[in-house]
Amino acid sequence: MKIEHAAWTVEDPVAAAEWYVEHLGMRIVRSGGPPAHARFLTDSTGRVLLEIYNNPKVSVPDYRNTDPLITHLAFNAEDVQVEHDRLLAAGATEVDPVGTLENGDTLSMLRDPWGFPIQLMKRSEPM
């Protein structure tokens, strides 16, 4: 088997998808209508598929108050500081500033405008 997609619910999946497209280089590969307004997004490789939606049967988690170590979406960034600053200007909020781990990985943690944690990462040795 292989993973098809990962998913999470947000208050406004249409606006969130547009933000991910505009600021994170994602592209929408499938859209659904009411009530969930699901958006399936892929990254530049086309290998990763994410679904963001809003199902009225469940409540949206309080992402803003959930520790980002519990769940987050990580992106490779050639220059973590540049991308960190660019996303802050686009409405993201900072959780952790840019730093470098003992193994040489550079990373930062932000939240998208809906509170979902986004990690920016440049590995010292690619995965």
Let me know: does 51 contact 38? Beta carbons within 8 Å.
yes
| Domain co-membership, 72 together with 47 | no
Residue 38 has pLDDT above 90, yes or no: yes
On whether residue 118 sits in a domain, the answer given is: yes
| Domain co-membership, 79 together with 45 | no
SS3 15: helix
pLDDT digits (tens, 9 = 90+) for 41-79: 999 999 999 999 999 999 999 999 999 999 999 999 999
On whether residue 63 sits in a domain, the answer given is: no
Is pTM, for the whole model, over 0.85? yes
**How many angstroms separate the CA atoms of 75 and 117, rounded?**
11
SS3 track for 35-87: CCCCEEEECCCCCCEEEEECCCCCCCCCHHHCCCCCCCEEEECCCHHHHHHHH
What integer pLDDT is reported at residue 21 of this predicted model? 98
For the chain, what is the domain count?
2
Tokens at 36, concatenated: 């969930």
Q: Provide the 8-state DSSP code for 91.
A: T
Let me know: does 64 contact 84? Beta carbons within 8 Å.
no
- Domain that includes residue 48, residue range: 6-53
**Residue 92 maps to which CATH number?**
3.10.180.10
pLDDT digits (tens, 9 = 90+) for 78-116: 999 999 999 999 999 999 999 999 999 999 999 999 999
**How many angstroms separate the CA atoms of 118 and 108, rounded?**
8
Residue 127 has pLDDT above 90, yes or no: no
Tokens at 41, concatenated: 């997004």
The stretch 9-16 carries a mean pLDDT of 96
Let me know: does 10 contact 39? Beta carbons within 8 Å.
no
